[in-house]
Amino acid sequence: MVELAGPLLLSVLMGSQYTMMALGLTMTYAITRVPNFAHAEFVTVGGYAAVAFVNVLGGGLIESLLGGFLAGAIVAMLSDELVFKPLFRRGATPLHLLVASIGVGLVIRYVLSIVVASYDFLVVKSRINKEILFSIGTAPFTNLHAWVLPTTFAVVIALHALFTQTRMGKAMRAMASNFDLARVAGIRTAQVRRWTWFLAGGLAGVGGAFWVVNVPVQPETGWGLLLWLFAASILGGFVSFWGTIVGGFVVGFAENLGISAVHDTFGVSLSYRPMIALVIIVLVFLIRPQGVTGLTMPDFRALIRKWFARFGAARGRS
Amino acid sequence: MPIDLSFLLPLLATTFGIFLILAVSFNLEYGYGGQANLGKVFFYSIGGYVAGALTTHSLWALAGSPADIPFLEDAGGVVRFAVARANPGAILGLFLASLVAAGLAGAAFGWLASYPALRLRGDFLAIVLIAVGEVSRVFVFNYEPIAGGVFGLPGVPNPFAWLPPRVAGALYGVLVLVVAFAVYIYAIRLTKSPYGRLLKSLRDDELASNVFGKDTPKVKGHVLAIAGGMAAVAGALYVFFVQNVYAGDFIPLISFTAVTMVIVGGVANHKGVLVGAAFMTLLDLVTRPVFPTYFDIYWRPPFDMNYVRYLTVGLIIIIVLMFRPEGLIPERPVETVALRVARAWGKPAVPSNPAADDPGEG
Amino acid sequence: MAIEEQKTRKWSPALVIAIVVIVILAGALGWALLQISAPAPQQINYPIGLAIATTGPTYATDGPIRRDAALLAIDQMNAQLEAAGSPVRFQSIHEDTAGTPDGATRAFNALAAAGVRVVVGPLSTGEVSAIRDFATQNKIVSISPSSTGVAAAIPNDYVFRAPPTDIPQSKALAQLIDELGFTKVAIIARNDDYGKGFSDLFESTFETRYGGQVTRIAYDPATQDLATEVQQLASDVQTLGPGANTAVLMVAFEGDGLEILGEARLSTVLANVRWFGSESTRRTAFLNQSAVPDIVQFLRDVQFTGFFASPSLNPVSVAFEQAYVAKYPTRDPKKSPYSYYSYDSARLAMLAILAAGKYDGEAAAKMLPIVASTYLGASGHKLMDANGDAIAADYTAWRVALDANNKAFYQEFARWVFASETLEFFP
């Protein structure tokens, strides 16, 4: 349907943005076992840094991305060095780290609030604006599309290369799969941690930098996105790189194409939008408890066969 | 202005009581049952919706269902308050009925939640439950018939509304504490019983429990049902305190508060939940900008004190975790007869591992 | 799990954090104690509670402005009292409510525990509903500077509201849109008590009185990216028929308004219809040439129009604006239309206490309507109706135009007379 071309393009854009922001979350959980509820604050920090670089320091897109990356990366690294790593060393369970990350999130968010409020910088948007490059019917293809899609693609390729080709990447994967064994094998876990958090925070920060091209940033920006980032990450089982990408796009599509389709077909109000992505998550997990990790074509066929069998059995039983 | 205890004590009592029930509920599921229910607010909200709907509709019917006054708006609320004040028996009865109904509804949903709980890994379950809570919140927020949608449902009167307001507030605070302690004692009895040891065995090594013939799915279902019922009771108590129902109040932060209380207080530890709930209640009060004024200290900082408040809450949580990661009161072994006897012999009892290890798959 | 590390480092991160926190807290405490000047022997402190949300998706940006306006009123009053030799001083206590009924209830309880009996706030109608009974039963006056929902208009309670309800504004808007020749309106409104309440009022007036046709798009107020909603709006406009008879009505605050406008300016369909906005959309942030030039251009293209309840040439408004800028040099009170009401709410609260001659909630509640009846403030007159809400006065219609220096501003071009419900266009 041509009418849904607009939401489709939006879905692709938002999916890419969610993917970029959620990849870091998956990384920090998989590699350092921290379910980080402060992850979204890196996005907020990155957004503010990007606006500062553009509006105040007069830079362009590249400067804003760099600024966002650095801001997110530094804050992330500090969080790990000061809080998560020490706790981990003392044997904190993931739930402990989760609670700690809530505390860290509060600290970041409100320090940021105090600072930006005192500079009257509370709600700001980047001077770089979203512009339409061309339209497909009524669907606008914007400069944001032209920047975000390739960047996300490049990031995915780069991360894949990192994980498979470089020593650091392989060390990360080793830590993710078995921490103690990794240490025994001589991997310098502290250094790998630093890199992991640096990258994770940096990616979130870049996500924030792109976010402020579209939408003004305010202290609660990240916190409002957190659940969606977790949703994206969880589809990948929290540990799967490709699963997170699928997750990001599932969320992006649900939120745009999904709600538009439901609105057009059933007249459901758009204010139900926050529900759609989450409903899909719940359904996915009820159907397949492992999420979308390790899914291949034969798995699909097996899944469908299993569901038909289950329905048949249920009917047979009643 | 000097401190006005006639407001402060009921506020503290009510907050503490509700927090305690939430903490006990989470502790039961996680500390003893090994399943981290991060979607606690969903069960809490169920209690709130049930209590709110039951009370408002019953009071409305009692008032003769006036057709010219809108049910959802404040005018409707005023009618309900008037009816409650005129009929003490009705509102007290409705309160009790609401508690029971809420508990049952929460238990039912808890039992239902055990189905995904069985199939999903711990962290997946956590996110799914958070998601369910948010779906429910957005749905109720948009769909007016349940809890007033975007406007909320005013007019859920305090069960003692027919008494002078300070007395009503104070009595309600006492009532909340009574209910909270009842729940607390129930949880203690549950966990000190053989059932409690069963839960712990499930948490520590599910496979071994299975080998010994314990029906783990059923037990998990039980735990979630009981804990769900408790959380729903807390939700019912809550709506009678704020005297309205609003879907937007039931946010994930409430679940996280429950988790924080248990982790900070000490997992699988009954003194721990008391400490955790007290900690959270006091933290909430002491960091408020109004707190210094209780001691006639007035000052106005050049920044928003509320920012500092949340900042301080975050810092204190981090600090407590850093210095006592096992919680303020760590877990101790279950008091069995054998343990007591062994202690009496003067031999040091072997402490069981504090619940610092992964509590097992959910 | 993790292998225990020997803590050989002296400065473990935990220790560092603890030291930092202790230093900060000690410093703050010391600074605070220094700030407390020993009160003059006869100084009487009257606390004014501010239950104003400054966190949360809705009020993180608006709340601080309204809080600052109230603080300005309190400081001005204290200076005036000092100059007059009075021993009374008003002390402000600002409790954040996060914009939720739960937060409002807890804030009121905590404030009441400090002996506060007069509160400015809460901001939203939902919060007002939540605290109404508590305030009334416990004789605590609440003056809301921005609640406008019809649902909360109740007589004989302790809740007063500085702005009028949405009823007259929605009538004025419907009438203006009709008189300007539009028969179809596509609404995009935030889905909360304000947005839904206002849209409901507008829709019923526009459809029943003027036989118009309305479509509605509601968006969750916490959503940050509204591109999908704006696309749907464009499609609604096309369905209605994008001719000269179709208009758009936006009911939003600042953050969501910026997002909607930022998306809408990219749509040719939406750029070719006339746009109207509720009172809450009259924001200087939309006209900020340096920050959002494209939005400014868009608003001019669509002749963005709306109403505002406060006559802007009121000398008290001007005085307020000047005092605000003098106190907060980097900020602009015009950023929030409700900063004026917030200032007036605080001032009315203080005047009521002074008129009562003592700090007492019941007395203040009785004096407040009396004091308000002849009060002319930054947001106009505050004569109250039986519900304790300000009676509406005339409304002025504004639209976006350029002044002599090519700077965009809100130009007033008509007045809606409240008494006769007629529109008078300025020449």
Q: Tokens in use for B94?
A: 């409705």
Does residue B347 surpass a pLDDT of 70?
no
pTM: 0.87
Separation CA C162–CA C141 (nearest Å): 13
| Pick from C17, C232, C267: CB nearest A263 | C232
pLDDT digits (tens, 9 = 90+) for C206-263: 999 999 999 999 999 888 889 999 999 999 999 998 788 999 999 999 889 999 999 9
Is C298 found in the same domain as C417?
yes
- Burial class of residue A294, CB neighbours in 10 A (0-12, 13-18, 19+): exposed
Q: Which chains touch A (3 or more CB pairs under 8 A)?
A: B, C
Taking an 8 Å cut-off on Cβ atoms, the answer to whether A131 and C191 are in contact is no
The answer to whether residue C5 sits within a structural domain is no
- The reply to whether A142 touches chain C by the CB within 8 Å rule is yes
Residue B353 lies inside a defined structural domain of this protein:
no
Average pLDDT over residues C48-74: 91
Tell me, what's the pLDDT at B334?
Answer: 61
Give the structural domain span for B206: 5-252
- The tokens for B301 are 């900082």
How many domains, in total, are found in chain B? 1
Kindly identify which residue of chain A lies nearest to residue C269, measuring between CA atoms: A138
Q: Splitting chain A (318 residues) into consecutive groups of 10 residues, what average pLDDT does each group show?
A: 77 94 92 92 96 88 93 96 90 86 94 88 82 82 91 92 90 86 86 94 95 89 89 80 89 91 89 88 78 58 73 60
pLDDT value of position A318 = 45
Residues of C in contact with B7 (CB under 8 A): 109, 112-113, 138
Rounded CA-CA distance B153/B144 in Å is: 9
Asked whether A264 and A253 are in contact (CB, 8 A), the reply is no
- Within a domain: C34: no
ipTM associated with this complex: 0.87
Which residue range forms the structural domain that includes residue A224? 2-287
Report if residue B303 sits inside a domain. Answer: no
Q: C372 near C382, Cβ under 8 Å?
A: yes
Q: Which residue of B has its CA nearest to C104?
A: B242
Q: Which one of C231, C291, C330 has the shortest CB-CB distance to A120?
A: C330
Backbone angles phi, psi at C423, to 5 degrees: -105, 130
- B360 has a pLDDT exceeding 50: no
Instruction: Tell me how many domains chain A contains.
Output: 1
- pLDDT at residue B335, rounded to an integer: 65
Dist. CA C424–CA C427, nearest whole Å: 9
Same domain for C138 and C243: no
- For position A243, which CATH number holds? 1.10.3470
Q: Does A120 touch chain C (CB under 8 A)?
A: yes
Q: What is the mean pLDDT of chain C?
A: 88
**Could you give the 3-state DSSP secondary structure of residue C127?**
helix
Where helices occur in C6-139 by DSSP H, the ranges are 13-35, 59-83, 101-113, 125-137
Query: Computed from CA positions of residues C389, C392, C396, C397, in that sequence, does the dihedral angle turn out positive or negative?
Result: positive
Task: Determine the residue type at C88.
Answer: V
Task: Please give the average per-residue pLDDT across C177-205, as a whole number.
Answer: 94
Within 8 A by CB and 6+ apart from A200, the residues are A23, A24, A25, A27, A28, A39, A42, A76
**Predicted confidence band of residue B197 (pLDDT cuts 50, 70, 90):** confident
**Closest residue in chain C to residue B246, using alpha carbons only:** C101
Which among A88, A102, A280, A257 is positioned nearest to A189, based on CA atoms? A88
User: Is A292 domain-assigned?
Assistant: no
Q: Are residues C96 and C199 in the same domain?
A: no
pLDDT of residue C6 exceeding 70: no
Confidence of residue B349 (pLDDT cuts 50, 70, 90): low
CA torsion sign, C158 to C163 to C167 to C168? Answer: positive
- Backbone dihedral angles phi then psi of residue B11, each to the nearest 5 degrees: -60, -45
Predicted pLDDT at C2: 42
Distance, in Å, from the CA atom of A201 to the CA atom of B271, rounded to the nearest integer, reads: 38
**Same domain for C288 and C399:** yes
The secondary structure of A153-214 as a DSSP string is: HHHHHHHHHHHHHSHHHHHHHHHHH-HHHHHHTT--HHHHHHHHHHHHHHHHHHHHHHHHHH
- Selected residue with higher pLDDT from C310 and C229: C229
Instruction: Give me the helix-helix angle, A221-235 and A39-51, nearest 10°.
Output: 130
Q: Which residue has the tokens 């101790």?
A: B332
Residue B71 lies in a domain: yes
The verdict on C355 and C413 lying in the same domain is: no
Would you call C100 and B246 a contact, using CB atoms and an 8 Å cutoff?
A: yes
Q: What is the pLDDT of residue B357?
A: 43
Contacts of A191 (CB under 8 A, 6+ apart): none
B vs C, Cβ pairs < 8 A, gives: 170
C408: domain CATH number? 3.40.50.2300
Residue C31 lies in a domain: no
Nearest CA in chain A to B259: A99
| B171 part of a folded domain | yes
Residue C319 shares a structural domain with residue C203? no
Strand-pair partners of C307? C397
Across the interface, do C114 and B293 touch by the CB < 8 Å criterion? Answer: yes
Residues pairing with B154 in the sheet: B244
Please count the structural domains in chain C.
2
**B354 is written with which tokens?**
């504090």
E strand intervals along chain A: 132-136, 139-142
pLDDT tens digits, one per residue of B258-308: 999 998 888 878 888 999 999 999 999 998 999 988 888 887 877 788 888
Q: Residue B88 — pLDDT band, cuts 50, 70, 90? A: very high
